[in-house]
Amino acid sequence: MKPSAIVLICLLTVSLTAGAAFAGAPLDGIYKSVDIGGPIDIGHYSEGYLVPNGATNVGTTFNAQSWDGANLGLMWTYTCGSILFPPTLLMDTVNPVTGTGSRTYMKTFIGGWIWLSGTGPWGNGDPGYAGPIDSYVEFETIQYVIWVRTHVVTNVQAQAHFNNYPQTCLAFSVANGVEIGSTDFGQVKPASYPDFLLQTSCVPGAPHGSWWDMITISLVISGCNVPSEDHTWGSVKQLYK
């Protein structure tokens, strides 16, 4: 076989392999939730824990899923990250006598996975996009009145990358959360919020937890669509002389 024919076969093989691996990578862009004028669903999420009032305990595990008003998890999920180290208390204004004020914690979750549906606005031919969560941090502020937790809000900042695509293919997200209810008050979680997950197995079963609305989401997908370079046949042959 002529050297030029061998080169052509090799190039075609590499081209087809690369196309199969990366052609459907999610589209780069900034995607915002519907409550701030964007195309993606807001979220419902839960934090499961083993003992009452255990939201800041080691082992607390999150389970976040998109919510379209009737269905959970059809567009996106962030799930299975757990607190492995005690959260950092950043600010404490609770009066030691009256028990009124607020405490702000930094809660770092380790592990977990992201999944985006291929039918979302980032869709580019593949049925879905999944990968590990690289970081997931919550800055959670708890308001107390006479030592009773009355209101909780949080800011969530996360980063993940997608399997089967270039290492530069990343997702960054920022969102805000509002606690809607908790078993700590004797309430029962509605079916419209995700299950409380156990830390190690990531299956439903945690006996306690709280449920939240995730709003004002900004999701940035970056580095997934790497432009290809065009080469003339003459320049390609020069590489193999």
Taking only the tens place, the pLDDT of each residue in 192-208 is 999 999 999 999 999 99
Beta strands at 88-92 and 101-110: parallel, antiparallel or unpaired: antiparallel
Whether 55 and 210 have beta carbons less than 8 Å apart is answered as: yes
Lowest pLDDT segment from 21-30, 98-107, 118-127, 207-216: 21-30
Q: 3 or 145: whose pLDDT is higher?
A: 145
Confidence grade of residue 239 (pLDDT, cut at 50, 70, 90) = very low
Confidence grade of residue 10 (pLDDT, cut at 50, 70, 90) = very low
**What would the two tokens of residue 108 be?**
């770092």
The helix, strand and coil proportions of the chain, stated in percent and rounded to the nearest 5, come to 15, 50, 40
Mean pLDDT in residue range 46-57: 96
pLDDT of 19 higher than 80:
no
Q: 78 or 10: whose pLDDT is higher?
A: 78
Q: What b/e sequence results for 32-66 when a residue is b if at least 16 CB atoms lie within 10 Å of its CB, and e otherwise?
A: ebeeeebebbbbbbbbbbbeeebbbeebbbbbbbb
